Structure 1
């Protein structure tokens, strides 16, 4: 079965590129433009979360912390991404396993995802 990645990204163009690239790599992708829509999803099926930090209805750092505090999702890796380079030092404070700078290199994004997906 394909690994499932949940993407929280408000920019439609970036979200579309991520979905296309991950689908080409045989990942199953579920994406969300807002925190509200993301929170409404069933997260226990995810193998990895890819979260933007700056969102129109909140903060991806807080979403990351929520995921890490919930018993159903605490063991699922989270990658944070942002154009704000100063945030890279904060990712571990919130429980994320890595940080991706925007604009990102597709190959680097894939390497970071492949390194964090847990084989079940």
Structure 2
């Protein structure tokens, strides 16, 4: 069964690029600009969530904190994507499992997703 990655990204072009890259590496993806409700994420059952720090002028780290509070989502690793200079601090504050600075390196995105998916698989 293919591992699943949920991509929550404000920029449609970045969303499509990340989808294409991850699907090319064998992942199943679902992407959206912003989930209307967190319960909408649960049926997809992602193995990793890539989360933009700026979602329609709202901070993504708030959404990350909310994800970590939902029992059915709390154990899913979250990677914050951002152009913010303090992305490492933002990621730590919201209990994200990792972060990627934009503009990102394709290999970095793939390696971090693979690492967290493998870690998640070993933990379950």
Q: TM-score normalised to the size of structure 1?
A: 0.91
When the two chains are superposed, the root-mean-square deviation of aligned CA atoms in Å is: 1.6
Which runs of at least 4 in structure 1 moved beyond 2 Å after TM superposition? none
In structure 2, the residue corresponding to 1:100 is in which secondary structure? strand
Which runs of 5 or more structure 1 residues have no equivalent in the other structure? none
Counterpart Cα distance in 2 of 1:26 and 1:66: 28
Q: Deviations over 1:23-71 (max 9, x none)?
A: 00110100001242x6362325111100001111522101100111111
Q: What is the distance in 2 between the residues matched to 1:43 and 1:60? A: 18
Counterpart secondary structure, 1:103: coil
> Shift of the alpha carbon at 1:89?
1.5
1:66 alignment counterpart? 66
How far off is 1:72 after superposition? 0.6
Matched with 2:16 is: 16
Structure 1 residue aligned with 2:92: 92
Matches within 5 A, 1:98-113: 98-113=98-113
The answer to which of 41-50 and 6-15 deviates more is 41-50
Q: For residues 73-92 of structure 1, what are the alpha-carbon distances to aligned partners after superposition, in whole Å with 9 as ceiling and x for unaligned?
A: 11110000101121321212
Query: Following TM superposition, by how much is the alpha carbon of 1:15 offset from its aligned partner in structure 2, in angstroms?
Result: 0.5
